[in-house]
Amino acid sequence: MKPETDQRLSDHISIGVLTRVFSPDLVDRIVTESGRTEKRHRLLPARVVVYYVLGLALFSDASYEEVMRMLVEGLSWAGDWAKSWNVPTKAALFKARVRLGAQPLRALFCETATPLATKRTRGAWFKGRRLMSIDGTCLDIADTEANVAAFGRPGSAREDRVSAFPQIRVVGVAECATHAIVDAVIGKYSDAEQRLAATLMDSLAPDMLLLADRGFFSFALWEKARATGADLLWRTKSSHVLSVKRRLGDGSYLSTIYPSTRDRRHDTNGARVRVVEYSLGDGDDATYRLLSTMLDPKLASASELAALYRERWEFETALDELKSHQRSPRVVLRSKMPDGVLQEAYAYLCVHYAIRWLMHSVALSAGEDPDRVSFTRTLRVARRSTASHPGFPPQVLDAAQRQATSELLFELLPTRRHRSNPRVVKRKMSNYGVKRPEHRNPPRPSQRIPTIISA
């Protein structure tokens, strides 16, 4: 018999507790604004396909059909339907993704990804400024001619001189305390990080302090970031020529950076900066040099800025969560066409943000540091809630979130020590017999106290 309403089982698919971030109303609005609303009532309407693509990013190891089964598993058979809903074929799911395109997922990320920290969030602020960081990474994508033509692939020392997979380059801005990636741009493998980063400066605000590694520094990018009103603390190369204009009492000094060698020679078009030079000791003879827009040492001393820079590594931890835990370390993005690659990449960013939102909500309610909530445990909770609580009713999501909060607070991680070294990835069959010297016996982070170089 015909159902009394126009509802279908597929309209009730969600991604469990993560639907708190991606509500049905929000998804429907973005689908409409993107012009992807279906003209006829399909088995896979656009809203369902958006949640399905997010499900692909949540269950990275599962097949097309299995992800759809996980999204509908747990829905009780309701009186509004005359018969059960059949899982679409792989071909139907593929065509539905093509119809949707990448724009709705990109718009969904841009709409939802905002800084999470409040004034009560531990470790999120420095002198009233929200700590942010910028960094980039590469992701392996499916080895198809279309993907290679669109994104390119890195070289290799192998006989054929090419790597196994083409890659995309992702550059993002993240909140240090919560690891929430609040803006990101996706480009070709050959795209320089500086060029991609220039498109992210609009996401900065005057209440932020942006940390960046030495690979991002250029005069043009520095000025574009400074024009937003945000404060900057960037590392620069040791070969950077910086004259001492005035030595400050804390060991730092004021200097000027220039857009070109000619401008430096004639002292024109320069920008005033404060330079902090320090070393870490314990056998590490390297000199670290930081540039900052915070010129007054009374506002932030050189020792405080040197100790603060290690917060930049929080973004590397966020990338580790995204690439090694959420995606799995050796999983390649499954999309075989460029538009599908972009769609899938933004879905990964959306899901990572939603997981981090859940972690921050739990930590804030308990008065704990977000670092003490386990990402892998939260990921398992999110996956399990998708199968056990997939429906949209608020009472179902409330129950799922209460259950998630209880589980995540049951066993908190120990207080994490700050890192001063890059994360070392150990591979079973490494091509390198000896690690870089600084990775052989790195000292404990608690021992690496910056020593300001004042002469």
Q: Which residues contact 158 (CB under 8 A, 6 or more apart)?
A: none
What's the pTM? 0.88
* Interval 375-388 mean pLDDT: 85
Q: Does the structure show a pLDDT above 50 at 213?
A: yes
Residue 3: per-residue pLDDT = 40
pLDDT band at 428 (very low <50, low <70, confident <90, very high): very low
Structure confidence by residue, pLDDT tens digits, 228-285 = 999 999 999 988 999 999 999 999 999 999 999 999 999 999 999 999 999 987 666 7
* Interval 155-162 mean pLDDT: 74
**Encoding tokens for residue 237?**
């190369």
Q: Does the structure show a pLDDT above 50 at 430?
A: no
pLDDT band at 427 (very low <50, low <70, confident <90, very high): very low
Percent of the chain residues past pLDDT 90, beyond the cut:
60
Interhelix angle 46-58/90-100, nearest 10 degrees: 110
Lowest average pLDDT, out of 38-47, 157-166, 268-277, goes to 38-47
Beta-strand runs (E) in 164-320: 167-175, 181-188, 208-212, 231-236, 246-247, 253-257, 271-279, 288-292
* Interval 149-157 mean pLDDT: 89
Q: Which residue has the higher pLDDT, 281 or 373?
A: 373
Q: Does the structure show a pLDDT above 60 at 433?
A: no
Which among 30, 17, 379, 331 has a CA at the least distance from the CA of 179?
379
Task: Output DSSP code: residue 315.
Answer: H
- State the pairing for strand pair 208-212/181-188: unpaired
Residue 246: per-residue pLDDT = 95
424: left (phi over 0), alpha (psi -120 to 50) or beta: beta
* Interval 185-200 mean pLDDT: 96
Q: Does the structure show a pLDDT above 70 at 76?
A: no
Lowest average pLDDT, out of 219-228, 268-277, 383-392, goes to 383-392
Q: Does the structure show a pLDDT above 80 at 402?
A: no
Which among 338, 318, 270 has a CA at the least distance from the CA of 97?
338
Q: Which residue has the higher pLDDT, 83 or 341?
A: 341
Residue 7: per-residue pLDDT = 52
pLDDT band at 193 (very low <50, low <70, confident <90, very high): very high
Q: Does the structure show a pLDDT above 70 at 152?
A: yes
Residue 71: per-residue pLDDT = 82
Residue 33: per-residue pLDDT = 94
Reported as half-sphere exposure (CB side, CA atoms, 13 A), residue 257 has a value of 20
pLDDT band at 401 (very low <50, low <70, confident <90, very high): low
Q: What's the CA dihedral at 174, 180, 183, 187 to 10 degrees?
A: 80
- State the pairing for strand pair 231-236/208-212: parallel
Lowest average pLDDT, out of 26-35, 43-52, 258-267, 305-314, goes to 43-52
Residue 104 carries which side chain, given as an amino acid letter? P
Interhelix angle 24-33/103-112, nearest 10 degrees: 130
User: SS3 for 135?
Assistant: strand
* Interval 10-22 mean pLDDT: 79
* Interval 76-97 mean pLDDT: 69
Q: Does the structure show a pLDDT above 50 at 102?
A: yes
Q: Does the structure show a pLDDT above 50 at 432?
A: no
Q: Does the structure show a pLDDT above 70 at 204?
A: yes
* Interval 57-69 mean pLDDT: 90
Average pLDDT, the chain: 85
Residue 358: per-residue pLDDT = 92
Residue 281: per-residue pLDDT = 74
Lowest average pLDDT, out of 213-227, 259-273, 431-445, goes to 431-445
Q: Does the structure show a pLDDT above 80 at 338?
A: yes
Residue 386: per-residue pLDDT = 78
Dist CA 321 CA 383 (whole Å): 15
**Encoding tokens for residue 162?**
């090419």
